[in-house]
Amino acid sequence: MDVAALVEQVVGGLGYELVDFEASPKSRLLRVFIDNEAGITVDDCATVSNQLTRVFEVENVDYDRLEVSSPGLDRPLRKASDFERFAGEVIQLRTRMPIGNQRNFKGTLVGLVDGSVRLSSEAGEQDFPFDEIEKARLVPQF
């Protein structure tokens, strides 16, 4: 059984977006990060946690601990829709392979343009092929 697919189905069915799912070796610790347009409250996390606990019991998913939380202020960007939703925000991204001897970039996310993530920085606008991005996350602004 694919636990990640099960989690995504349950979270989506409750009206939330699954941002990330982490399982420790042997699935002893399961971490679920959820989000929605209105933001996440403690009650949202409790709702998802209770539902997942029931589903895991029915599906015989063996685990010791389940953690459900919001993705935080430095939310990871993983899907193409994330790069469209957070256009205008400052992000930090890391490419799989160096581009001009550099793998880490920071700037304002312009959005997704023709399958590439466009970033605006002091050096100007730069496009990064979506498939070449290893990691990306929001940079909190205070």
Note whether 55 and 92 are same-domain residues: no
With respect to residue 47, please indicate whether it lies within any of the assigned structural domains: yes
With respect to residue 64, please indicate whether it lies within any of the assigned structural domains: yes
Q: State residue 141's pLDDT score.
A: 84
Cβ contacts of residue 127 below 8 Å, gap of 6+?
A: 113, 116, 117, 118, 119
With respect to residue 75, please indicate whether it lies within any of the assigned structural domains: no
Q: Summarize pLDDT for 73-97 with one digit per residue, the tens.
A: 999 999 998 999 999 999 999 999 9
pLDDT greater than 70 at residue 16: yes
Please say whether the beta carbons of 34 and 70 come within 8 A. yes
Domain that holds residue 19: 3-69
Q: Summarize pLDDT for 118-139 with one digit per residue, the tens.
A: 999 888 899 999 999 999 999 9
Which segments of the chain does DSSP mark as H helices, in order? Answer: 3-13, 42-58, 80-85
**What is the SS3 assignment for 76?**
strand
Q: State residue 9's pLDDT score.
A: 95
With respect to residue 46, please indicate whether it lies within any of the assigned structural domains: yes
Can you give the CATH number for the domain in which 99 is found? 2.30.30.180
Q: Among the three residues 45, 69, 93, which one is the final residue of a domain in this structure? A: 69
Q: Summarize pLDDT for 18-44 with one digit per residue, the tens.
A: 999 999 887 689 999 999 988 899 999
pLDDT greater than 70 at residue 1: no
Note whether 95 and 63 are same-domain residues: no
Counted domains in the chain: 2
Can you give the CATH number for the domain in which 34 is found? 3.30.300.70
Residues in the chain: 142
